[in-house]
A and B are shown apart, each in its own frame.
Chain A
Amino acid sequence: MNSPQHDRPLVLGIESSCDETGVGIVRGTQLLTNTVSSSMDEHVRFGGVIPEIASRAHLDAFVPTLREALAEAGVTLEDIDAIAVTSGPGLAGALMVGVCAAKALAVATGKPLYAINHLVAHVGVGLLQTDGGGPQAFAANALPANALPENLGALLVSGGHTEILRIRNITADVELLGSTIDDAAGEAYDKVARLLGLGYPGGPAIDKLARTGNAKAIRFPRGLSQPKYMGTADQPGPHRYDWSFSGLKTAVARCVEQFEARGETVPVADIAAAFQEAVVDIITSKAVLACRENGITELLLGGGVAANSRLRQLTEQRCNAAGIRLTVPPLALCTDNGAMVAALGAQLVMAGIAPSGIGFAPDSSMPVTTVSA
């Protein structure tokens, strides 16, 4: 009988928390495959992710995605050392499909199963060596214990979340420093894109149009930036590192209507640019503030909005100015995927953490302090 390979375990990861059905396979920190099936096209006419449509798509995509991932990695289920699955946070009905599939896989193969936190998995992806054996994101000054640098933070920005995390140990000690109190940043992009008639998903459409607009033509509010929310470093206010995007969305709507009421042409490109500037400015300024005040010197940028050119640019600029080293994984690993789940699963196996078993329930609001159930 084979003993489990704790140094380089072969782990299969399953992701279904939003609209991507992902199956990824890693061996230790080596990425073997990252297979994703997205239902994004089915949500276009609704202007946002419809949970029931996403759940129906997960059901039909799971087995084909699994089959493809195994073929692409050239491994069989018998070879696998452990299975990992996103257990939360995410859309409850969508999570349920991946979790039930993962449990069935565990029953049928007898392999150990890890129920994993989606947000922490976004950070775990930074540990992967990507294809071609390219450099590992954190190879330079990684700790031997968990291969992550000391003083690591993560800024996660997507259609489903906006968070700043502090990671002391990826398998055991993760802290939420701040998050959005209403819409996720990507959601705000989708809603504003709809207001401006730019289609779905809103991020790429606004990013593209914003390049032709004047971001200074209009000034939109930066949510939760007033002193009563911020406080000071010594006496932090109630939302020092938190974001809010719902007021911004209303401000954009009001602005469009004022142009229309005056019978003027709506300067769509300027509005897109000014909106994007407001989002990116407040995200990066608060993230960098959180890093500085918490001794974070390494920052990982993750989530689908990491594809946004202005967000990357301003994050890089402000991190440089603050002496923070910024890492942005390849985009295919920033958006939701199974490889990140497998990557975190492999870390848990290597750390000797016990599997979750098959009796856990998915948790749509799983806190980051719970790395695995």
Chain B
Amino acid sequence: MLILAIDTSAVASAALVSDDTLESLVGSFSTEDTRSHAEVLAPGIEALLAEAGLTGADVDAVVTGVGPGPFTGLRSGIVTARTLSFVWGKPLYGLMSLDAIALEVAESTDAAPEFIVATDARRKEVYWARYALSDGQLPRLLDGPHVGFAADLPELPVYGAGAGLYSDVVKAVPGFSSRQPEALSLGQFALARLAAGERLLDSTPLYLRESDAQVPGPRKRAL
């Protein structure tokens, strides 16, 4: 099974993963910055396919990170995934973006049995979720995702860029303190969960915050 995975909840990234390949990696890319998704994503995907000598017809499913993440960036990946899935006529699945880091934690040497993944939610807040790990199993989501202040997180080791930003108030795990969700881990997680017969999400974005719109109050006096 060949999956094209996309995540734009923080950085822009895409990956081709397959259960026929070693480490399941066919190709991947990710950007450094979090603000140029519209420019880099489509060219990146086009290059991924070209370098692998593949076309949409070879892809069996499209997977997109559904956040949480800053809205505009998040939508760029989801609308890309929805459009590719529609044109290619291939199934589309969603995965919570923090799962990408959770899988990397599970595969690392300093994994805690219970832990938090946190990313930058801007406005002095983090997006976070709580996971449990048992030997040889995929990480299991216990709680979340939520958005809130880092100081209010449960007292557990915290992995991801959200921990690095607030290492003064949380137990940030050093090797992960600038880690962002990326499509490669997300795609690998999707592959593993599909192989285990688990159901994935649909592509509905997890905004976690309202649109900030205010219903106008009574008219202000102009005099």
Interface string of A42-70 (1 = CB under 8 A from B): 00011100101101101100110011000
A99–B72 touching, CB < 8 Å: no
Report the separation of the CA atoms of residues A46 and B217 in the bound assembly, to the nearest whole angstrom: 10
B83–A52 touching, CB < 8 Å: no
Q: Does B82 sit at the interface, judged by CB under 8 A?
A: yes
> Which residues on the B side are within 8 Å of A258 (C-beta)?
223
Q: Which residue of the partner chain, among B39, B49, B79, contacts A361 with CB atoms under 8 Å?
A: B39
Interface string of B176-193 (1 = CB under 8 A from A): 000000000000000000
Q: Which residue of the partner chain, among A63, A253, A261, contacts B83 with CB atoms under 8 Å?
A: A63
Chain A: number of interface residues, binned into ranges: 35 or more
B222–A100 touching, CB < 8 Å: no
Majority SS of interface residues in chain B?
Answer: helix
The 10 closest A-B pairs by CB, nearest first: A103-B42, A253-B222, A104-B83, A108-B87, A52-B211, A50-B213, A104-B80, A100-B76, A358-B42, A93-B72
> Which residues on the A side are within 8 Å of B87 (C-beta)?
77, 104-105, 108-109
Report the separation of the CA atoms of residues A62 and B84 in the bound assembly, to the nearest whole angstrom: 12
* In the complex, chain B residues 97-116 whose Cβ is within 8 Å of any chain A Cβ: none
Q: Contacts A62-B82, A96-B75, A100-B75: A107 and B212 contacting too (C-beta < 8 A)?
A: no
B43–A358 touching, CB < 8 Å: yes
Give B217 Cβ to nearest chain A Cβ, in Å.
11
Q: Contacts A46-B216, A100-B75: A107 and B45 contacting too (C-beta < 8 A)?
A: yes
> Which residues on the A side are within 8 Å of B215 (C-beta)?
45-46
B88–A96 touching, CB < 8 Å: no
A46–B213 touching, CB < 8 Å: yes
Binding site for A on B (CB under 8 A): 36-39, 41-43, 45-46, 49, 56, 71-72, 75-84, 86-88, 205, 207, 211-216, 219, 221-223
A104–B79 touching, CB < 8 Å: yes
A-B contact count (CB 8 A): 115
A55–B72 touching, CB < 8 Å: yes
Q: Which residue of the partner chain, among B36, B56, B71, B81, contacts A55 with CB atoms under 8 Å?
A: B71
> Which residues on the A side are within 8 Å of B79 (C-beta)?
58-59, 62, 97, 100-101, 104
A53–B213 touching, CB < 8 Å: yes
A99–B213 touching, CB < 8 Å: no
Q: Which residue of the partner chain, among A47, A59, A66, A359, contacts B86 with CB atoms under 8 Å?
A: A66
> Which residues on the B side are within 8 Å of A360 (C-beta)?
39
Report the separation of the CA atoms of residues A195 and B45 in the bound assembly, to the nearest whole angstrom: 49
Report the separation of the CA atoms of residues A358 and B42 in the bound assembly, to the nearest whole angstrom: 7
> Which residues on the A side are within 8 Å of B223 (C-beta)?
254, 257-258, 261
Report the separation of the CA atoms of residues A62 and B76 in the bound assembly, to the nearest whole angstrom: 12
Q: Does A250 sit at the interface, judged by CB under 8 A?
A: yes
> Which residues on the B side are within 8 Å of A66 (C-beta)?
83, 86
B39–A107 touching, CB < 8 Å: no
> Which residues on the A side are within 8 Å of B76 (C-beta)?
96-97, 100
Q: Which residue of the partner chain, among B49, B80, B211, contacts A103 with CB atoms under 8 Å?
A: B80
Q: Across the interface, name the chain B residue whose C-beta is closest to A253.
A: B222
Q: Does A366 sit at the interface, judged by CB under 8 A?
A: no
Q: Contacts A253-B222, A361-B36: A108 and B75 contacting too (C-beta < 8 A)?
A: no
> Which residues on the A side are within 8 Å of B84 (C-beta)?
104, 107-108
Q: Does A92 sit at the interface, judged by CB under 8 A?
A: yes
Most buried by A among B36, B83, B214: B83
B72–A96 touching, CB < 8 Å: yes
> Which residues on the A side are within 8 Å of B77 (C-beta)?
100
Q: Does A89 sit at the interface, judged by CB under 8 A?
A: no
Report the separation of the CA atoms of residues A106 and B80 in the bound assembly, to the nearest whole angstrom: 11
Give A41 Cβ to nearest chain B Cβ, in Å.
14
> Which residues on the A side are within 8 Å of B221 (C-beta)?
253, 257
Q: Across the interface, name the chain A residue whose C-beta is closest to B78.
A: A59
B42–A194 touching, CB < 8 Å: no
